[in-house]
Amino acid sequence: MLDLAILGLLEERGNLHGYEIRKQLRDGLGLLANVSFGSLYPALARLEAAGALEAIETSTPPDAATAEQVPPTGSLSGERAVLRARHRAGRRTHGRRSRKVYRITDVGRETFAALLTQPGGADDSRSFGLRLAFARHLAAPARLALLEHRRAALSERLAEVRAARGDRALDSYARAVVEHMADGVERDIDWLDHLIDAEQSAPGRGAPARP
């Protein structure tokens, strides 16, 4: 899910570095606020290793090229030495500590499309919300499928919650919780119905997958 958010952000907003990605995640979309560096940076490293992202040099001075050629030592202290060397080499781009700016690759765009389309994990509301937020990168039929898949999941959920509501053994507090939950699910379904309607009456509204 984090991967999807990162790729989507890089696709829509262009090249960003980790710290900035986190900020945009925090106050850009409400979903996925509070994502921590401890998960963000490893995710970026993973995506880079998978070829979905590449780190770009931001107005790097010429001698940084040599720093790049320092082979990985495998030892911690060695890596630190490399980092220090890079700093000395002048990777500081405009006064701040050297930042690693990422660009999405074609592989990354494919990964993004796959994550957006695949049915797995779209059952929870966060994952669905994230997908819908990036829905303009989806072709119209896939978009409709996403909405209808979610609607079906919520329908099932509603049936379960309604069954729970009939339970005699619930006291007033438990009942209030179940009742509120049922209302919430109903509201979500209504919302989805509106979205599905809009999608069907104006099929060309969203941008196609490749504008």
- DSSP for 143-157, written as a single string: HHHHHHHHHHHHHHH
* Tokens representing residue 205 in the block: 């509204």
Q: Which is nearer to a second copy, 91 or 143 (CB)?
A: 143
Q: Which of residues 6-45 bind DNA (CB under 7 A)?
A: 17-20, 34-39, 41-45
Using the structure block, give the residue that is written with the tokens 């379960």: 160
Q: Which amino acid is at 28?
A: G
Contact between 141 and a second copy per CB under 8 A: no
Contact between 163 and a second copy per CB under 8 A: yes
Contact between 80 and DNA per CB under 7 A: yes
* Tokens representing residue 204 in the block: 């060309």
Q: How far is the CB of 162 from a second copy (least distance, A)?
A: 9
Contact between 170 and DNA per CB under 7 A: no
From 191, 193, 203, 208, residue interacting with a second copy (rule: CB under 8 A): 191
**Long-range contact set of residues 199-205: C-beta below 8 Å, sequence gap at least 24:** 199/140, 199/143, 199/144, 199/147, 200/144, 203/140, 204/140
If contact means CB under 5 to 8 A according to the sort of partner, which of a second copy, DNA, none does residue 103 touch?
none
Contact between 87 and DNA per CB under 7 A: yes
Using the structure block, give the residue that is written with the tokens 């819908």: 132
Residues that bind DNA (CB under 7 A): 1-2, 17-20, 34-39, 41-45, 76, 80, 83-84, 87, 92, 95-101
